[in-house]
């Protein structure tokens, strides 16, 4: 979600500065590795006494409430979601955020809520572990031999998608081109304004067009 559908970077920076000061950890240290990873996984390393889902759900629920005006949609995200929904194509959000965070941001930006959702609470291990994308695949009801496409911006998420057996488009929205390429996605684009749905078959198989791809195929 974050970095792929919405950009809440400014809000997240303020959020982690508040949390960092609260737990006595330099916020800049947290921010160096936090994007794309679950808050609970960061807290397990930095402040184990705070690493509970109850605490994480509470602190993430406050993010959209306190910093709602700090987030914007990623270019092309709304149009692509509307195309998928109109065509009844299967799609899901698989995120390192908690349910309160996801629903909070989607409500603030008036973006559609997915029928299928995988959050931080859904799996034991977060990205780059592939469990979240394997669960998303399962919840979509797709067969084991289906072709599933992941849209990701963080190296941890790209690695998780690839390890789950998916094709991955890497977006250069939150990390440098070099960091995205190093995670080895199948394609790299700047944002979702480069991705357009051309058709969707009765079996849910979608044909996409990439324009202005930064890298057409990562070797």
- Under CATH, which architecture does the 1-219 domain have? 3-Layer(aba) Sandwich (3.40)
| Exposure class string for 27-47: b at 16+ Cβ within 10 A, else e | beebbeebbbbbbbbbbeebb
Exposure on the CB side of residue 111, measured as CA atoms within 13 A: 27
pLDDT at 25 over 80: no
Expressed in angstroms, the distance from the first to the final Cα of the chain is 26
Tokens 């488009």 belong to which residue? 169
Whether residue 178 has pLDDT greater than 60: yes
Residue 191 pLDDT more than 80?
Answer: yes
Q: What percent of the chain clears pLDDT 70, i.e. is strictly above it?
A: 96
Question: Given this model, what pLDDT does residue 217 score?
Answer: 63
The answer to whether the CB of 57 falls within 8 A of the CB of 81 is no
Cα distances (angstroms) measured from residue 112 to each of 46, 66, 108, 145, 149: 34, 21, 11, 28, 19
CA within 13 Å, CB half, 167: 13
- Distance between CA atoms of residues 99 and 117, nearest Å: 9
**Please, what sign has the CA dihedral across residues 130, 70, 172, 155?**
negative
Strand, coil or helix: 168: strand
Q: Which position has the token pair 């190093």?
A: 182
Q: Which of 11-15, 149-153, 171-175 has the lowest mean pLDDT?
A: 11-15
pLDDT at 115: 95
Q: How far apart are CA 96 and CA 80, in angstroms?
A: 21
Residue 196 CB: number of other CB atoms within 10 A? Answer: 15
DSSP secondary structure, 181-212, as one string: HHT--SEEESSGGGEEEEEE-TT--EEEEE-S
User: Which of the pair, 27 or 89, is modelled with greater confidence?
Assistant: 89
DSSP designation for 153: -
Alpha-carbon distance of 50 to 42, in angstroms, equals 10
Per-domain residue ranges for the chain? 1-219
Indicate if the pLDDT at residue 88 is higher than 60: yes
Residues 114-123 have a mean pLDDT of 96
């Amino acid at each position: 979600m974050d970095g792929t559908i919405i950009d809440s970077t400014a809000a997240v920076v303020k959020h982690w500065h508040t949390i960092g000061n609260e737990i006595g950890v330099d916020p800049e240290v947290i921010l160096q590795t936090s994007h794309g990873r679950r808050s609970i996984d960061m807290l397990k390393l930095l402040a184990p006494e705070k690493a509970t889902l109850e605490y994480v759900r509470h602190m993430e629920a406050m993010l959209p409430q306190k910093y709602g005006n700090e987030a914007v949609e990623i270019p092309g995200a709304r149009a692509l979601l509307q195309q998928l929904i109109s065509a009844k194509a299967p799609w899901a959000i698989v995120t390192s955020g908690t349910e309160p965070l996801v629903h909070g941001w989607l409500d603030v930006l008036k973006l559609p809520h997915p029928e299928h959702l995988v959050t931080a609470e859904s799996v034991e291990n977060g990205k780059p572990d592939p469990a979240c994308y394997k669960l998303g695949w399962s919840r979509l009801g797709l067969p084991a031999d289906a072709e599933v496409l992941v849209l990701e911006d963080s190296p941890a998420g790209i690695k998780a998608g690839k390890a789950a057996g998916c094709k991955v488009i890497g977006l250069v929205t939150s990390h440098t081109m070099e960091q995205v390429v190093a995670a080895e996605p199948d394609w790299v684009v700047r944002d979702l304004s480069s991705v357009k749905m051309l058709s969707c078959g009765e079996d849910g198989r979608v044909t996409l067009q990439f324009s202005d791809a930064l890298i057409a195929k990562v070797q």
